[in-house]
Each structure stands twice: as C-alpha cells, then as structure tokens.
C-alpha cells in the first residue's frame, strides 16, 4: 500500500497568529506532499519494502537497498517528521506541560524553561535545514533534546520523537523571514501537550 498524505487535523489558519495560514497550506500541501510522492516513487524499486509502515521502514533503514537508501532517508524522514509535526501542534495550545510529560521534562531537564532554552539553542545552531527534536531514549528511559540535519529521522538511531520544531526556512520564512529565533519562541504557543504526552507515554511503554 502506498504511503499517503493525511489531512491536517485543523484548518490552515488554526495556528494564527503564531503560524500563518499560507505557510501551513504550502508546507502541508506542497512540501509534505512532495515527500510522500517521492517516497512512493523510490519504493517502486523495492516492492518488498512498499508494504512497510513508515516507522518500520525508517527503523530498518540499514536494510534498505543502497540505490534508494538516501531517497528513503530524505523522503521517508520528511513524511514521518511532518506527520508528527502537524500532530504535536494545535489551536489553543501552549502553556506549561503538566502530568506525565511535565514530570518527564523536569526529570530530564530540570524544568520547562531549561527544555525551551535547549530546544531553541539546538534549532538556532542547526546549520542550514533541519529539526530540533525532543525524543525518548529507550536505553536511558529519559527524554533528550537533539538536533538533526535535513529530514534525518531520530527513528533511524533507535530514538522515538515525541515533539519537534521544523527549522527549515519553508516552515517560517513567509511570516518571520530570517528571524528563526522569533519563530521558535512563537512555536511554543501552539504545542499540543496532550498529544505530546500521549506519544511520550506510548514510547515509554514500547509502543
């Protein structure tokens, strides 16, 4: 079964004023769609992999044929990264995390302010395009903040992404131009902590 582009779980303008409607439309309907289309095209050369879900495919990247491996990293990563990105944002988001995710953040980073500083620093120091991630590390049993270039997925390293900030210019340039820091600061206002917590709890349970 071919990989497919899912509909956004909210309207293009739902994250205004923090993320503008035009950016959300182009980002989801053009950029994300291109990753999906190119992933499916690459997998035509490996029909035995075409039936794998995106998480299995990325976790097993070492077994992907060399001829299409980079295409799967770029486009499979782009597909999964963006699918998660849309889910961990939402209207009426933001605020300080509580519950299981709030406790996990305090355990790993000390407090929420420290997490924000670390995520922002990772985003600002990611040269060129990439992502600033918060992942669950099954080995340590804790959250970690990392940065990855391009569309490289944390799944390829055995890590489980629970939230991430897209710092490719197409994610913010229409509204924030070259002000990546302002975009990252504004992004915290749209975080859907209920979804982030659900992903953390599932990752901790090995799901």
Tens digit of each residue's pLDDT (9 = 90 or more) over 51-93 = 899 999 999 999 999 999 999 999 999 999 999 999 999 999 9
Give the torsion through C-alpha atoms of 30, 36, 38, 44, to 10 deg: -150
The CATH class, in words, for 99-204 is alpha beta
Question: d(Cα 37, Cα 188) in Å, to the nearest integer?
Answer: 30
Contact (CB, 8 A) for 111 and 117: no
Using CA atoms, how far residue 145 sits from 117, 134, 202, in Å, is 10, 5, 18
Could you please state the CATH topology (level 3) that the domain comprising 21-87 is classified under: Helix Hairpins (1.10.287)
What's the confidence (pLDDT) of residue 207? 82
Every domain range in the chain assigned CATH 1.10.287.990? 21-87
Every domain range in the chain assigned CATH 3.55.40.20? 99-204
What's the confidence (pLDDT) of residue 148? 98
If DSSP codes are grouped into helix, strand and coil, which group holds residue 112?
A: helix
pLDDT in tens, the chain (207 residues): 699 999 999 999 999 999 999 999 999 999 999 999 999 999 999 999 988 999 999 999 999 999 999 999 999 999 999 999 999 999 999 999 999 999 999 999 999 999 999 999 999 999 999 999 999 999 999 999 999 999 999 999 999 999 999 999 999 999 999 999 999 999 999 999 999 999 999 999 988
3-state secondary structure 130-188: EEEEEEEECCCCEEEEEEEECCCCHHHHCCEEEEEEECCHHHCHHHHCCCHHHHHHHHH
Of 18, 142, 159, nearest to 80 by C-alpha is: 159
Question: d(Cα 58, Cα 71) in Å, to the nearest integer?
Answer: 12
């Amino acid at each position: 079964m071919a990989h497919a582009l899912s509909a956004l779980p909210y309207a293009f303008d739902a994250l205004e004023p923090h993320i503008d409607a035009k950016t959300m439309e182009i980002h989801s309907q053009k950029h994300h769609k291109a990753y999906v289309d190119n992933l499916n095209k690459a997998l035509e050369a490996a029909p035995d992999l075409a039936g794998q879900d995106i998480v299995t495919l990325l976790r097993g990247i070492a077994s992907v044929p060399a001829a299409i491996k980079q295409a799967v990293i770029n486009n499979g990563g782009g597909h999964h990264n963006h699918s998660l990105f849309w889910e961990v944002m939402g209207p009426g988001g933001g605020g300080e995390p509580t519950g299981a995710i709030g406790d996990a953040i305090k355990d790993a980073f000390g407090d929420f302010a420290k997490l924000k500083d670390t995520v922002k620093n990772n985003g600002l120091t990611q040269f060129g395009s990439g992502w600033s991630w918060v992942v669950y590390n099954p080995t340590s049993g804790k959250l970690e903040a990392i940065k990855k270039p391009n569309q490289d997925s944390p799944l390829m390293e055995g890590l489980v992404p629970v939230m991430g900030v897209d710092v490719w210019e197409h994610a913010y340039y229409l509204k924030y131009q070259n002000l990546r820091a302002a975009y990252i600061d504004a992004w915290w206002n749209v975080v859907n902590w209920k979804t982030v917590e659900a992903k953390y709890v599932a990752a901790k349970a090995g799901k």
